[in-house]
């Protein structure tokens, strides 16, 4: 995701500003610490993209405590598009649907192929597969 961000910024002939990138360990405390750093910047971000919807919900909750007008002063976006976000007051404005069910199906299909090949006595080292499930940008 970070490389995708860097590529998208660079492709638009813009400079990647790593001050706008914060890491989190997915805990609420880590998310709040990351958000505090972003909000302390002289030029505050206009958009915050969270790694997933759970991080998004923690970030929005903290932003509200800081009296930030969510999705007006700062737009929040995230990855996952979990159904639970439709029950929140401030769902992400933009979310990336990653289709975890399809990912699980494909992973199981690949694993079954490997096991079937081994049971047939094929000892091929070709146990690495690449399968792309195209994500979808969802605008709420």
Domains of the chain, residue spans: 1-97, 99-140
CA separation for the pair 109, 98 (Å, rounded): 18
Backbone angles phi, psi at 139, to 5 degrees: -100, 120
| Rg of the chain, C-alpha, whole Å | 19
Q: Tokens at residue 59, please?
A: 């970030």
> According to CATH, what is the number of the domain 1-97?
3.40.50.2300
Tens-level pLDDT at each residue, the chain (140 residues): 889 889 999 999 999 999 999 999 999 999 999 999 999 999 999 999 999 999 999 999 999 999 999 999 999 999 999 988 888 888 889 899 989 899 999 999 988 988 888 887 776 666 677 888 999 999 98
User: pTM value?
Assistant: 0.77
Residues forming beta bridges with residue 49, ordered by sequence position: 77
CA torsion angle 7 10 14 16 (round to 10): 60
Neighbours of 106 (CB within 10 A): 15
């Amino acid at each position: 995701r970070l490389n995708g961000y860097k590529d998208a910024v660079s492709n638009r002939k813009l400079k990647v500003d790593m001050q706008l990138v914060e890491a989190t360990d997915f805990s609420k405390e880590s998310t709040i610490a990351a958000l505090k750093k972003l909000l302390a910047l002289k030029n505050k971000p206009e958009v915050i993209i969270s790694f997933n919807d759970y991080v998004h919900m923690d970030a929005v909750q903290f932003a509200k405590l800081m009296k930030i007008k969510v999705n007006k002063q700062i737009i929040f976006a995230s990855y996952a598009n979990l159904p639970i976000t439709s029950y929140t007051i401030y769902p992400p404005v933009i979310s990336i649907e990653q289709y975890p069910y399809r990912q699980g199906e494909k992973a199981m299909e690949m694993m079954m192929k490997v096991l079937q090949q081994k049971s047939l006595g094929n000892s091929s080292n070709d146990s690495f597969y690449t399968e792309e499930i195209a994500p979808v940008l969802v605008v709420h």
